[in-house]
Amino acid sequence: MTLSPSPRALPRLVVLLSGSGSNLQAILDACASGALSAQVALVVSNRKAAYGLTRAAQAGVPTLYFPLKPYTDAGKSRAQYDADLAAQLAPFQPDLIVLAGWMHVFSPAFLSCFAGKVVNLHPALPGMFPGAHAIARAYDAWRRGEIAHSGCMVHFAVPEVDAGPVIAQRIVPFQPGDTLEAYEARMHTAEHELIVEAIRLALAT
């Protein structure tokens, strides 16, 4: 009998989102095609209506809806929410937690449970346009002649908004006559490639 090493289980991803989940879809597609050697073990949303939950269910991935409102209504802290969410995720034994449109800034109560394992996608370059509506704010800056390009990045998450050591980034130039919609579409196409590349890199570190 020939002994061969047992196949290594695929790295486990937990994806957190708040909206459409087009980046989750890019991750699911890359996992399904083998372009990414990983599996999505769980998808979490803090918004019930997030279409990303539907995408996950369609792919047969378990989902968790975990809203902040019951915590704020009960006068509980963000840190308590973060700690409870971390406890929900821990049994899934994530190798990497991917914030893909997760509109909530984590405190150390969450991040310290998964040190070096939380990465965030943001549609702007390092140090530029942190927070919400980054694409529209970059577009307005371009229209005012202040910038010639923006871009997107994936970085390790820290308690500051859209900051932390960068894993991968991509410039997305503006083009003459760009509308916000056209630029947004180009940004999302770039993000869908970048997120897969960055997960690959983060899993390899």
CB of 138 to ligand GAR, least distance (A): 11
Q: Give CA separation, 201 vs 3, 106, 156, 159, 166, in Å.
A: 31, 22, 12, 22, 11
Helix axes 180-204, 134-143, angle to 10 degrees: 130
Q: How many residues bind ligand GAR (CB under 6 A)?
A: 15
Give the bridge partners for 99, in sequence order: 16, 120
Q: Rounded to 5 degrees, what are φ and ψ at 119? A: -120, 150
Binding mask 70-89 for ligand GAR (x = CB under 6 A): --------------------
Which span (1-9, 18-26, 85-93, 136-144) binds ligand GAR, by CB under 6 A? 18-26
- Of residues 108 through 167, those in contact with ligand GAR by CB under 6 A are 121-123, 134, 162
Task: Based on the residue annotation, tell me whether 122 is a catalytic residue of this protein.
Answer: yes
Which span (17-25, 35-43, 79-87, 170-178) binds ligand GAR, by CB under 6 A? 17-25
Task: Name which of 109 and 135 has its Cβ closer to ligand GAR.
Answer: 135
Q: What are the DSSP calls for 167-180, one per residue?
A: EEEEEEE--TT--H
Pinpoint the alpha helices (H) of the chain: 22-33, 51-58, 69-73, 78-89, 108-111, 134-143, 180-204
Residues in contact with ligand GAR by CB under 6 A are 17, 19-23, 52, 100-101, 121-123, 134, 162, 191
- Residues labelled as active-site residues: 122
